[in-house]
Amino acid sequence: MNDFTFIYDEIEALMQSTNDLEDPAELHGMMTGFLCVNPEFPFTHWLSEIDFIVKRENQHDFLEQLYQQIAEQLARDEYEFDLLLPDSDSLSEQRAIAVSHWVQGFLYGLGYRGDEQDWPGETQGILLDLTRIVQLDPQIDDEEDEQALMEVTEYVRASVFLIYAELNQPLSQQTLH
């Protein structure tokens, strides 16, 4: 079991009694979206914004660690970031649903941008693609579908970096449309 599997399982257990989110993928996507919008959002602000109830101190610490890890990975710009999804031993349909939930959470987190400005650069088109990914049929019938799921996952991952870069560069460097 790798560290990501452990994290996914830990969050899944924590979520069973604490809130209305679909799964750990959605929670991770939401954290990532928040951090793309404003990498300076303190964890406690994020926690209060989504009304996530943490019953024990160790759960709070665990989620804060995950939040800080995402922030650091995005800021490093070394493409170390991965979507938090069920491991490859899980059913393909479960992973497809988790990708959809991850993107749903990510879009929700981006919604905290809070301004009326147009999205910079290529982000407008990417956001349209992401809304389509949320609606994909999770049925995986063959190796071709499995390959398509891997490609969609990689597209989402690359999109996170592009959106983060576009939203966090000086205004003078942003692409104007």
Closest CA to 97 of 155, 62, 58, 137: 137
CB 103 within 8 A of CB 156: yes
pLDDT digits (tens, 9 = 90+) for 133-159: 999 888 888 888 889 999 999 999 999
Q: Please indicate, yes or no, whether the overall pTM of this predicted structure exceeds 0.75.
A: yes
Per-residue pLDDT at 19 = 58
More confident residue, 15 or 176: 15
Domain of 55 in residue numbering reads as 3-173
Res 177 pLDDT > 60: no
How many domains in the chain?
1
CATH number of the domain at 76, please: 1.20.120.740
CB 30 within 8 A of CB 103: no
> H-type helices in the chain, by residue range?
3-15, 24-37, 43-50, 57-76, 92-110, 123-134, 143-167
